[in-house]
């Protein structure tokens, strides 16, 4: 194991890149190298992220594969479809972490249907907690030593972590899932200026990508298949709510056909067993429900489960900070595993309150 790795961040002026830098600046084994972007090249990081004081005077450079390749690690925090061509030009022994979607999906057809164009490729998936039913293991076992990491989508993280204990144990019906999410505006990136107009955003909840069109649907299905589902049918509806960060995913599934009757207490025990050794996924005490505020700034997913006897549905609620566990924190967690460092190094589990 080598100590101190140089890391370049491209997309440094954006929300995801900025959050990665905030966390990486406090990571004991990472040294921050080049910060690059596109239209903001030549400006200072402090012009975009004035809260990251330790890097405020660093100048953002244009993005070239040559400059990025001078580092041990390259983090791509770029719009969909942008990271693939850059990654293709980086050396095979550079560790590359893609915060975008280009390398998450295993099926090229899913990429073409939901994103369009040629599929950039499939990399090891950066969700250490993902249950791999076929090998009775979790994804972290496949991440040690990898040099490419595809970091999951933030909504995907919340829904997959919420549902997978029920899928893996066969108690939840993967063909009858409904997920409705309250999501904060930072998930849309800093470029989504119209969404950020206070007059429109404050005091209103706004659904988007309604009717089975959201790009995270195939990624969630992929994860639930990994957890043991033969087939997945998922209704997914995100709703923007007036908060900066956070995702609260309410995911429900019908009790699987033929499954024995269950109680909330039994479900709580199943969910607790699935996550008992996880540093960043916590099943709350019975009766306590997650809120987004509880996860603010932390690499923590908080989850709870109940059984709705009348509807015969399993109901899970999972909260994350979209920019931490949903992006930059999840990236550092997987990077720690890939590098053979303690998985929790440089990451917080406690949120910020009030």
Ligand X SMILES: CC(=O)N[C@@H](CCC(=O)OP(=O)(O)O)C(=O)O
Ligand Y SMILES: NC(=O)C1=CN([C@@H]2O[C@H](COP(=O)(O)OP(=O)(O)OC[C@H]3O[C@@H](n4cnc5c(N)ncnc54)[C@H](OP(=O)(O)O)[C@@H]3O)[C@@H](O)[C@H]2O)C=CC1
Residues near ligand Y (CB under 6 A) are 10-17, 37-40, 63, 77-80, 82, 99-101, 153-154, 186-187, 189-191, 322-323, 326-327
The answer to whether the beta carbons of residues 330 and 126 sit under 8 Å apart is yes
Of 127, 101, 229, 128, nearest to 175 by C-alpha is 229
- In the bound state with ligand X, the residue whose beta carbon lies nearer, of 188 and 269, is 188
Give the Å distances, CA to CA, from 276 to 165, 268, 273. 12, 12, 5
273 is catalytic: no
CA 295 to chain centre: 14
Distance CA 105, CA 17 (A): 21
Residue closer to ligand Y, measured from CB, 78 or 315 = 78
If binding means CB under 6 A, how many residues of this protein chain bind ligand X? 11
Where is 110: in which H helix or E strand?
helix 108-114
Among residues 100, 162, 290, 351, the one that binds ligand X under rule CB under 6 A: 100
- 183 contact choice in ligand X, ligand Y, none (CB below 5 to 8 Å, kind-dependent): ligand X
Shortest separation between residue 258's beta carbon and ligand Y, angstroms? 37
CA dist., res. 268 & res. 274, Å (int): 10
C-beta closer to ligand X: residue 174 or 246: 246
Cα separation, 216 vs 197, in Å, equals 25
Going residue by residue from 294 to 333, which x/- string records binding to ligand X, judged by CB under 6 A?
----------------------------------------
Which one among 45, 74, 168, 183 touches ligand X, defined by CB under 6 A? Answer: 183
Q: Which letter does DSSP use for residue 324 in this model?
A: I
Query: Does the protein bind ligand X through residue 292 (CB under 6 A)?
Result: no
What mask of x and - would describe binding to ligand X in positions 122 to 161, judged by CB under 6 A?
-------------------------------xxx------
Query: CB–CB of 347/329 below 8 Å?
Result: yes
Q: Is residue 335 a contact residue for ligand X (CB under 6 A)?
A: no
Counting Cβ atoms within 10 Å, is residue 249 exposed (0-12), middle (13-18) or buried (19+)?
buried
* Alpha carbon distance 239, 157 (integer Å): 16
Q: Please, which residues bridge with residue 6 across strands?
A: 31
Tokens standing for residue 50: 């004035």
Which one is catalytic: 55, 154, 274, 328? 154
Beta bridge partners of 253: 177, 314
Q: Minimal distance in Å, beta carbon 191 to ligand Y?
A: 4
**Contact (Cβ atoms closer than 8 angstroms) between residue 164 and residue 303:** no
Query: Is residue 188 part of the contact set for ligand X (CB under 6 A)?
Result: yes
Q: Which is nearer to ligand Y, 17 or 124 (CB)?
A: 17
Give which of ligand Y, ligand X, none residue 155 binds (C-beta under 5 to 8 Å, depending on kind).
ligand X
Taking the complex as a whole, the smallest distance from the CB of residue 179 to ligand X amounts, in Å, to 12
- List the single partner that 222 binds among ligand X, ligand Y, none, CB under 5 to 8 Å by kind: none
Q: Give me the residues that bind ligand X (CB under 6 A), please.
A: 100-101, 153-155, 183, 187-188, 216, 238, 240
Catalytic residues: 154
């Amino acid at each position: 194991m080598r100590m101190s790795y140089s890391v370049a961040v491209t997309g440094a002026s954006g929300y995801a890149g900025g959050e990665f830098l905030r966390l990486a600046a406090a990571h004991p084994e990472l040294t921050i190298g080049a910060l690059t972007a596109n239209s903001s090249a030549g400006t200072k990081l402090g012009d975009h992220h004035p809260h990251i004081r330790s890097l405020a005077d660093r100048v953002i450079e244009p993005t070239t594969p040559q400059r990025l390749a001078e580092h041990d690690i390259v983090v791509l925090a770029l719009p969909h479809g942008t990271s693939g061509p850059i990654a293709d030009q980086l050396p095979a022994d550079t560790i590359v972490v893609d915060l975008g979607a280009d390398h998450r999906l295993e099926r090229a057809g899913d990429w073409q249907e939901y994103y369009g164009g040629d599929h950039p490729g499939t990399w090891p998936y950066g969700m250490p907690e993902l249950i791999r039913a076929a090998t009775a293991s979790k994804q972290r076992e496949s991440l040690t030593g990898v040099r490419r990491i595809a970091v999951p989508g933030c909504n995907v993280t919340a829904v997959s972590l919420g549902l997978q204990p029920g899928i893996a144990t066969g108690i939840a019906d993967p063909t009858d899932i409904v997920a409705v999410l309250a999501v904060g505006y930072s998930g849309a990136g800093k470029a989504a200026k119209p969404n950020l107009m206070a007059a429109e955003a404050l005091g209103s909840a706004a659904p988007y990508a309604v009717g089975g069109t959201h790009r995270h649907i195939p990624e969630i299905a992929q994860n639930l298949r990994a957890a043991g589902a033969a087939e997945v049918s998922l209704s997914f509806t995100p709703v923007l709510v007036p908060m900066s960060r956070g995702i609260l995913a309410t995911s429900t599934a019908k009790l699987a056909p033929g499954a024995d009757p269950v109680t909330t207490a039994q479900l709580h025990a199943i969910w607790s067993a699935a996550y008992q050794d996880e540093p960043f996924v916590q099943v709350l005490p019975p009766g306590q429900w997650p809120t987004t505020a509880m996860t603010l700034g932390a690499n923590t997913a908080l989850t709870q489960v109940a059984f709705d006897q009348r509807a015969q549905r399993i109901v899970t609620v999972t909260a994350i900070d979209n920019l931490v566990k949903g992006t930059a924190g999840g990236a550092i967690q997987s990077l720690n595993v890939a590098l053979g460092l303690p998985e929790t190094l440089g990451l917080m589990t406690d949120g910020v309150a009030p």
